[in-house]
Structure 1
Amino acid sequence: MSLPLVTGVILAGGASSRMGVDKAEVQIRGVRMLDHMRDILKHAGINHINVLGRPSEPGGIPDTEPHTGPAIGLWHYLRIQPENSRHLIVPVDMPNLDTAIINQLIEQRQWAYYNQNPLPLLAIASSETTTDRPLTIRALLQAHNAISLPLPESAKTVFANINTVSDLAKWQ
């Protein structure tokens, strides 16, 4: 079965204040976290990848409103996308994502995410995206009546974020 066409979107525009250095540039297994996430998406069959908050990167898109958080950046991004286009949204700092988790999202026909985890998510651009500015990713999910998928017990570590130097040390 072939999966529906989807654009990968890496959220990489944050200040990385808890990490103390730019998370997208942090090396994991000798590769920048940003490139590691690109590789994960490509391995899942996603060939078109945008990088929010990184205009100098291939597929890079600048933050329209810097320092306002990922929900606002995503909201601006989706407002200019073609109607009904599909976008798999991932954070740059989730290095354990796997193909099965990504593919289950891609197979959905509406906005979707996993229980207790607002990211990654599948977003579908529509004229509804132009409504109220969301303050959080959860608010954006709620505004679009996103479905919450059950998380397989075996996949809980998939959603671990690397937000601090301590998180990085544990991951490595």
Structure 2
Amino acid sequence: MSHAHVHSPVDEAAYLHGEEIAASKHEFVGGEIYAMADKSERHKRIAGNLFFHLRSATRGEPCRAFMADMRRRLAGGTTYYYPNAMLVCDPADDHPLYKQSPCLIAEVLSTATVDVHGKWTAYRGLASLRYCLPVDSERLWDRVFFRDEHDAWFEQASSAEDRVDVACSGTRLALTLDDRYGDTGLLVV
């Protein structure tokens, strides 16, 4: 006779402690821990491009750029994701293990359905968030979700001529498709 495995949900403290000693990263959703898949070289290059441009724009500014090793805390600690790049401008958002008030989140997509729908649904409720950039790692495609001054969300497709103008507190930058996809083998036409 086989026995069913009973899984007990993990609490936030146990998750954070486990991540500090784990050899690989895990996301945490509703008490469940999910191992993160290893990423392709192209995925890592796109994430690096995004972080490079965010970090360059924040030098000497109060906003701080983070790459994929900084967690994003959601839903009162029941969910943690590792965005590929994040821009945080709230000086009170100073926890050393996670951030809660990003102005911009960039996600390099490995599986568009999960990343776009699942994470976008979670991210769009963040009062501080003004920009969400899901960037496909397999083809030249990306969407920009941005919130206007009336708190309404809009979606814009990007083409080779377009740029994303980001304004978070005093930090301003423009990102083109070439900025995001440079040196990846995906040519911007």
TM category (shorter chain) comes to 0.3 to 0.5
**Larger strand percent:** 2
**Larger helix percent:** 1
- Kindly name which structure, 1 or 2, has the bigger radius of gyration based on alpha carbons: 2
TM-score, scaled to structure 2: 0.32
The higher relative CO (CA closer than 8 Å, separation ≥ 6) is in 1
